[in-house]
Structure 1
Amino acid sequence: MPEPSLKQKAAKGIFWGGFSSGLQQLLSALFGIVIARLLDNTDYGMYGVLAIFIAIASTLQDSGFVTALVNKRNVTQEDYNAVFWCSLSIGTSIYIIFFFCAPFIADFFKAPELIWLSRYVFLGFLMSSTSVVHNAYFLRNLMIKQRAMAQLPALIISGTIGIIMAYNGMSYWGIATQNLAYIAVINLWYWYFSPWRPTFHIDFRPLKDIFGFSSKILITSIFQQINNNLVSTILGAFYTKAEVGNYTQSSKWNYMGYNAIEGMISSVAQPVLREVADDPGRQQNVFRKMLRFTSFLSFPAMFGLALIAKEFIIITITDKWLSCVPILQILCVWGAFMPVISLYSRLILSNGKPNIFMWNSILLCVLQLIIMLLAYPYGIHVMLILFVVLNIIWLGVWQYFIWQEIRLSLWNALKDTVPFAGIAATTMIATYYITIEINNIYLMLITKIGLAVAIYSLIMWFSKVTIFKESIKYLSGRSKK
């Protein structure tokens, strides 16, 4: 059997990445709906204030090794083995440090309950440190199907545990246990599907070749995690736990929305772009096609989520969460651009330029911190709007470096993104005014979704958009097979 072409491997990876991400977000939504009906915003707030510590610790544990292994031209057993034992050592050390720091965390947020809750939640650092290499192995070898087969049962089992505990009145302990169960199950499946196994010949010398790249990814990832969790931390310091809970709930739905698209693209973007890194012309063509595909999906999906936010929140998790609606709508605008930003950063990394990735992310994080500290007295909505505007403007900085790497002009980048954003926005505005007189909330939700999909698809069809027709053709081909 002939070796599949890069295009075939990329298409297969995107298909399985999309199938996995879509199904995961659907299951996460179903479990999230049930749990949100059982808990309140204070419960989510208790877990939400720990998000930044979880994110930073997870990043330290990864240490940029996954990205470095995916990007390395030739990877040996010694490389994998050194990363495994290093990750395990870091995970163990982080847990010990955070265990003794728990009282200080509780004092900062003025919540004594956080002492044992944080110590319990942080067990995830130990558990997930054992699967860093397996995750890198799957991504490097485009084993997207195997990753999906590991992630889905983990989601089902952990979601079921979370619901049972929430139903029995265990509040935020149920959310924490759900997260730990997910890590435990996915680790077991990663080990089952991956052919790689560690040895007890511990030698850290191969890390010298990896650390130059991975250290910059580590620093960048820490700042990105601070950036992504900055809002919940500032809210936890200056606002009530209920307000933190409202933001956490809104952020969760926004994340599930854009992560379904980002997960589909990011699972193949870096390894595929790395394959063509020696040919800038070909790399530009591959990147532009990915950019059009990302824009084609991301803008209608996230603008659509903003359109139906009110009906969705009331129907699924009841009107006790109604205050989440404006927050979710603001975040959805940011979420529409997130897969595009992620794709830009993947190209920078695939070309072996972690310095650009690092300093770009650090500067953005610092600017966001300044803006949010200045804006928080004016309320969460103003703070979030400024947060979103800055992130969208910063896409221009990414564009400058993309132009340096592959000579993709701003005009061509705009041609690949703006039409999809404009059509998606026009579709949602038209749908809003067409359905504005509908009084039944269920009919409103169904009509909005159906009408928006129909209008967007018809515009794509009559405009003869190539990426739309190629997607239909590919899916039709798979269904015939």
Structure 2
Amino acid sequence: MSEEQSLKQKTAKGLFWGGLSSSIQQLLGLIIGIIVTRMLSRADYGMIGMLAIFSSIASILQESGFIAALAIRTKVSDKDYNAVFWFSILCSTALYGLLYLSAPLIARYYSTPELIPLSRLAFLGFFISSFGIAPRAILFRNLRVKENAIISLTALVSSGIVSIILAANGFAYWGLAIQSIVYVAVVVLLNWYYAKWKPSFHIDFSPIKEMFGFSSKMLITNIFIAINNNLFSVLLGKYYSKQSVGDFSQANKWNNMGHSLITGMINGVAQPVLANVANDPQRQLAVFRKMLRFTAFISFPAMFGLSIVSKEFIVITITDKWIESAKMMQLLCIWGAFVPVNNLLSNLIVSRGRSSIFMFNTITLSLLQIITACISYPYGINIMIYLFAAINILWMFVWRFFVSKEIPLTLFAMLKDIAPYFLLSATLTTTAYYMTLGISNLYLSLIIKVVFVASIYALILWKMQSVIFLESIQFIRKKHKS
């Protein structure tokens, strides 16, 4: 088998397992989320939402970008993994101690004393996860997508069962905090099981110094991404109510579940595969454009579809007490359709080792988001979301500009790859939305929208003999036979 065929097979296999894993995860997450959300209040989710930014930044600091650094490293030894293992543990220990002492300050900022004990429990999650950084890097670098799928699904089921039991017994927001800790603990244990790697007590941090130039830029970048992703919860928690934070957290959760299905499928293979062909820009361009078409083919109909059924979905699954989150979800899902595309563009930049470009681009976007949010919050949550979505969608063209410096991807070529799927999805979902305006039965409205968009989308692509569509069908048939 040629190198090109081998890479193509690994990519297809990775996409299959990534897609299967993401699909099952989102389905299970949907079921668990519906059950738990029906039992908890908007304020319960608001309490956890207020702490999200601190846990996210702490997790990024203890990982420090070393998983990405190890993935693009030409040769990796046990010495490298061992250095990352001990560095992550030392870093997370110091961070947990700092956040433990800072809990009263966090509670004072939100004027919510209950956050002191809750934050000290919730922050244990990133400390536990530090023990799994090195084995996770091994699985990621070696495209062990199947094993990662098993790990994620096992952790999701285990933590989901725990959260349902706790919610049913009145643990409220404490159950959500414990759920995340159980999830992390299971992931860490299974990472060790599948990686088959053991650390050494001979500690040498020299590999950290070698990787720090790249990883430090990834670290700074990821911190700004975390700030950007959790900015709304921070501002809403300060200037609005716990219920508003809960509404936004709920809307953003379902939006994230939607676009994470696609990014989870792509992320498992994009960076390692693109890095594998980084020395051949023309070949990398061909691989990248195929990934871009596949991403657009999946993302636009899925996320636009989720946007138009947000009201039906929210009311049917978690009752009309969350109706405010349905309005937010509708707006967020339009932006969510572009997240996998932007994610793929940024992965290309990282695969080329251009962590500084990735860093400065992300920092600029985050600062723009922060300024916009701080200016717009007095005008209401919906205005903030409109501006947030518009900026992130338009930023796709900024990512494309920097990608074009690495591979010859023209603006016309990018639009040619994604525009057909965007226009078709936008037309069908808009038509379905107006078709069902007069239907009061939510179940009927949901079914008509989903069946209409899915069937017409597939029919048109089949009639047009879309290569991505036909290859996807062919691949699924082969897997079914095998």
For the aligned pair, the TM-score class normalised by the smaller chain equals over 0.9
Q: In structure 2, what is the equivalent of residue 309 of structure 1?
A: 310
String of CA shifts for 1:105-156, please: whole Å, max 9, x gaps: 0000000000000000001121000001111111110000001111111100
Q: In structure 2, what is the equivalent of residue 67 of structure 1?
A: 68
String of CA shifts for 1:268-291, please: whole Å, max 9, x gaps: 000000011000000000000000
String of CA shifts for 1:293-332, please: whole Å, max 9, x gaps: 0000001100000011011001100000011111001110
For the residues of structure 2 that align with 1:305 and 1:427, how far apart are their CA atoms?
A: 13
Contact 1:16 1:145 in 2 (8 A): yes
Q: In structure 2, what is the equivalent of residue 292 of structure 1?
A: 293
Q: Secondary structure at the match of 1:394?
A: helix
**Aligned residue type for 1:419:** P
Q: In structure 2, what is the equivalent of residue 223 of structure 1?
A: 224
Q: In structure 1, what is the equivalent of residue 123 of structure 2?
A: 122
Q: In structure 2, what is the equivalent of residue 410 of structure 1?
A: 411
Q: Secondary structure at the match of 1:453?
A: helix
Contact 1:92 1:125 in 2 (8 A): no
For the residues of structure 2 that align with 1:148 and 1:320, how far apart are their CA atoms?
A: 34
String of CA shifts for 1:147-192, please: whole Å, max 9, x gaps: 1111111100101111111111111001001000101111111111
Q: Secondary structure at the match of 1:290?
A: helix
String of CA shifts for 1:405-438, please: whole Å, max 9, x gaps: 1010000001111211111011101212333333
Contact 1:349 1:357 in 2 (8 A): yes
Q: In structure 1, what is the equivalent of residue 91 of structure 2?
A: 90
| Aligned-pair CA distance for 1:245 | 0.4
Q: In structure 1, what is the equivalent of residue 140 of structure 2?
A: 139
Contact 1:166 1:174 in 2 (8 A): yes
Q: In structure 2, what is the equivalent of residue 450 of structure 1?
A: 451
Q: In structure 1, what is the equivalent of residue 367 of structure 2?
A: 366
**Count of aligned residue pairs for this structure pair:** 481
Q: Secondary structure at the match of 2:409?
A: coil
For the residues of structure 2 that align with 1:386 and 1:429, how far apart are their CA atoms?
A: 21
Q: In structure 2, what is the equivalent of residue 320 of structure 1?
A: 321
Tell me the TM-score normalised to structure 2 length.
0.98
For the residues of structure 2 that align with 1:146 and 1:137, how far apart are their CA atoms?
A: 11
**Aligned residue type for 2:16:** F
Q: In structure 2, what is the equivalent of residue 275 of structure 1?
A: 276
| Aligned-pair CA distance for 1:394 | 1.2
Q: In structure 1, what is the equivalent of residue 433 of structure 2?
A: 432
Contact 1:94 1:125 in 2 (8 A): no
Structure 1 runs, 4 residues or longer, greater than 4 Å off:
1-4
Q: In structure 1, what is the equivalent of residue 81 of structure 2?
A: 80
Q: Secondary structure at the match of 1:202?
A: coil
Q: In structure 2, what is the equivalent of residue 390 of structure 1?
A: 391
Contact 1:150 1:190 in 2 (8 A): yes
For the residues of structure 2 that align with 1:171 and 1:19, how far apart are their CA atoms?
A: 32
For the residues of structure 2 that align with 1:258 and 1:318, how far apart are their CA atoms?
A: 23
For the residues of structure 1 that align with 2:237 and 2:460, how far apart are their CA atoms?
A: 44
1:478 aligns with 2:468: no
Q: Secondary structure at the match of 1:406?
A: coil
Q: Which runs of 5+ in 1 are unaligned?
A: none
- Aligned 1:333-348 pairs, distance under 5 A: 333-348=334-349
For the residues of structure 2 that align with 1:378 and 1:436, how far apart are their CA atoms?
A: 28
**Aligned residue type for 1:82:** A
**Aligned residue type for 1:448:** K
For the residues of structure 2 that align with 1:5 and 1:39, how far apart are their CA atoms?
A: 49
Contact 1:14 1:264 in 2 (8 A): yes
String of CA shifts for 1:70-96, please: whole Å, max 9, x gaps: 111111110000000000111111100
Q: In structure 2, what is the equivalent of residue 50 of structure 1?
A: 51
| Aligned-pair CA distance for 1:464 | 1.6
| Aligned-pair CA distance for 1:442 | 1.4
**Aligned residue type for 1:102:** A
String of CA shifts for 1:366-412, please: whole Å, max 9, x gaps: 11111111100100000110011011111111111111110100000
Q: In structure 1, what is the equivalent of residue 258 of structure 2?
A: 257
Q: Secondary structure at the match of 2:149?
A: helix
1:206 aligns with 2:201: no
| Aligned-pair CA distance for 1:2 | 8.6
String of CA shifts for 1:223-273, please: whole Å, max 9, x gaps: 111011111111111111100000000000000000000000010000000
For the residues of structure 1 that align with 2:2 and 2:471, how far apart are their CA atoms?
A: 23
Q: Secondary structure at the match of 1:292?
A: helix
Tell me the TM-score normalised to structure 1 length.
0.99
Q: In structure 1, what is the equivalent of residue 29 of structure 2?
A: 28
- Aligned 1:169-184 pairs, distance under 5 A: 169-184=170-185
Q: Which runs of 5+ in 2 are unaligned?
A: none
Contact 1:258 1:298 in 2 (8 A): yes
For the residues of structure 2 that align with 1:383 and 1:159, how far apart are their CA atoms?
A: 32
Over aligned residue pairs, what C-alpha RMSD do you find? 1.1
